[in-house]
Structure 1
């Protein structure tokens, strides 16, 4: 027989997490693949919008790119900020609209309402998948006595996590609905993360943020959190560089790297 490999799983968190008492995790691109579903929903929204909208210049109507456009304008940000940034980049001007508007094309709010409806439809039909290793990481954090908050600048996060099978794992779920009618500035400003830290009841210096977007990383650094970990949501050296420049202490390619790597010990070979 050939060599047999015995797997020894240490299930230990990386040492830099051992002094933490709280962890704030990105619900959309670290715990789940909701960011990819949002990207698809925004693509459908803007592709439909561009069929109805009369542009100032035809070149502005190139299709929405679910990677480049989403991760530049929307990832980690509120829909309000994302729509404003995307439309401005295309030279398109729409009124902001009222706080509540039906889905449509007359204002930024109506575009957001359209995306909300598309996203909800996608979640109903296809669910949202948990990121590999994410829920194991949450269980491991909690086993070390680290409180866990899931955060998102979107809405409906608790329901989305429930559908993905992970709502019960988080001690707190904070999204845009937490702020009600109060003025809310999302990432790269820090109020979302600060609200999560406050609800966990831990010191900022002993809180780690595990996030998937440059905007979120910037917000975590501005919040003064003790350890900022970035997880690249897709293979991209350019994205990893942006996460570094935003101020991440660690940049990883998946959440499983936050757990000690599995040790592989070769067993002595023996004859058949």
Structure 2
């Protein structure tokens, strides 16, 4: 059914890069934030943030503070955690995260949000087939993005960065957010399918022993191979491919 195991009861979708074209917006915001910080810190000799390699390796799919910390550690930089309400100008993990979030909201406001139509068609097909659906995203802006593109009603539950912080859920690659998503729609991980474009998200799906993990490749052949290596059962360029396979 829809390219999934027959006993699948629910579909758990990441948002950025799977359903909406916001992964590039996040990558641009991370780059602007990190480059600005590193330029201030290191001067003319700073090494820029790579919006492809660094984004995929250190921040994609992770909670904002985890991504900030992970990338800085890759550069040998240690900062205090700070507080959740640290302003963007504060030199802490939380402060830099706030700076990045302000940039994301600015870019979304300026550029708007687009969806991957084939993936939205897949969500609709899943619901028509009687499968429960949830969006599981590390983004704290999930509600705003869902509303902006008018797809809030396609999901029975939402587990996002805000809820993860409220419940103190570890971010991806830990499986906790996806496990919470499965619980929210009343099914066991073994009967739920995970849909992810981030390496950390695929790792989370595999670590949680979910019934099926679909890797969504929006980058290139190397990223597709990496998704498979991290545990994706199948890798597609868009969820419409699963609908096409079903039709055949």
TM bucket (normalised to shorter chain) is over 0.9
1:92 corresponds to: 77
Matched, 1:227 2:212: yes
Aligned 1:195-206 pairs, distance under 5 A: 195-206=180-191
Larger radius of gyration: 1
Number of residues paired by the alignment? 248
Work out the CA distance in 1 between the residues paired with 2:95 and 2:63.
Answer: 15
Q: What TM-score does the superposition give when structure 2 sets the normalisation length?
A: 0.93
Q: What's the CA shift string for 1:214-257, capped at 9, x where partnerless?
A: 111111111111111111122x2211121111111111111111
Q: Is the 8 A contact 1:154 1:176 kept in 2?
A: yes
Aligned 1:64-75 pairs, distance under 5 A: 64-75=49-60
Work out the CA distance in 1 between the residues paired with 2:246 and 2:189.
Answer: 31
Gap regions ≥5 residues in structure 1: 1-11, 265-272
C-alpha distance 263-26 of structure 1, shift in aligned 2 (>3 A): closer
Moved over 3 A (4+): 179-182, 261-264
Q: What TM-score does the superposition give when structure 1 sets the normalisation length?
A: 0.85
Q: Is the 8 A contact 2:159 2:180 kept in 1?
A: yes
Work out the CA distance in 1 between the residues paired with 2:5 and 2:245.
Answer: 15
Bigger relative CO (Cα 8 Å, ≥ 6 apart): 1
2:174 corresponds to: 189
Which residue, 242, 254, 257 being the options, matches 2:241? 257
Matched, 1:76 2:61: yes
SS across alignment from 1:148: strand
Gap regions ≥5 residues in structure 2: none
Matched, 1:13 2:6: no
Matched, 1:154 2:133: no
RMSD: 1.9
Q: Is the 8 A contact 1:162 1:168 kept in 2?
A: no
